[in-house]
Amino acid sequence: MLNDHIRFDDDKDTLYLLDQRYLPCREEWFPVTDLRTTIEALQEMVIRGAPAIGVTAAFGCYLCAREVQREHGENEGWEDKLRAKLAELKEARPTAVNLRWGVEEMEKFWAGRPGIGLPSLCTAWLDRAKNMQVEDEEINRRMGANGAALLEDGDKVMTHCNAGALATAGWGTAIGVVYSAVEQGKKISVVANETRPFLQGARLSAYELGKCGVDVTVACDNACALLMKKGLVDKVVVGADRIAANGDVANKIGTYGVALLAKEFGIPFYVAAPASTLDARTPTGDDIPIEERTPREVTHPTNESCIVPDNCKVYNFAFDVTPNELVTAIITDRGVLKPPYTESIARALKRTT
């Protein structure tokens, strides 16, 4: 199982990320050393997937602290300079709540140690980021075990976007559920929607599922209705970038349409996400900011030839929101949540494990 795509090199004081922009054609590593390169990695899709974004943000906080240390030492005002960098990092991508969560976890750690010096904070933050990386894979494995109980031997599972090991620190959320079911001896096959325009399903889900020996077939996004009608989909399991307090789910663009089709054909629609993706501060999906990305991802899907006429306007919303009434259950590391979600999410957030 992929779990080494986020690597910290202590000797070089550098975070290395497997650059997902080039998969599956080649494997390249992107070095992250400061605030600028952390934001670049997040915004340019070097790393993506809510849990992976949260872990990267935690390492990014440490790298921000080291950057302040290099530039200012412990001169008066270093705290304000560091806080300014953290605020900028927190706004790098607006929809994925795990980015904010990762930074706030590090801020809470700092706030709990008043008077700590910058060198000591750097050391403590690096240890905390490494622990968060390990904890994320453990969380995903618990979530996978919880979700595997919902899959039956022989199930054909549709996914949308990549919510596997590459989207986390290891194992995965939605695809982690598949891995756990396979580990239990169940024969599971996966239909990976290509997920335009960035093709996370075709490039990333198929890449890692194939590496792990799971039967996977890539499908065009607009084939979902036909595949469901033909009986080629038994369950849908997707990830999430933010889940509102009422159970509305923000995930990769196109998820809402898949959920509508699943309801039409009577197919269970499951969402798998860690408790850190549950956002009690966001009442409903209407309150979730939706990121709009560069038109070039649509006009130049292979970053080479243009497929859209010159000067044509483009919609490139990165996410949409699936209303809670279309969600059969939310699979988390704290259990499988059922409607009414306002109550089950509130209970889950009160639990510590």
So which residues are the catalytic ones?
241
Query: Could you tell me which of 234, 170, 236 has the C-alpha nearest to residue 201?
Result: 236
Separation CA 266–CA 105 (nearest Å): 40
φ, ψ dihedrals at 74, nearest 5°: -105, 30
200 with 162: CB under 8 angstroms? yes
- Degrees, nearest 5: CA angle 199-201-202: 70
188 with 162: CB under 8 angstroms? no
Question: In this structure, which long-range contacts are made by residues 5-9, counting pairs with CB atoms below 8 Å and at least 24 apart in sequence?
Answer: 5/165, 5/166, 6/47, 6/52, 6/55, 6/56, 6/59, 6/133, 6/169, 8/59, 8/126, 8/129, 8/130
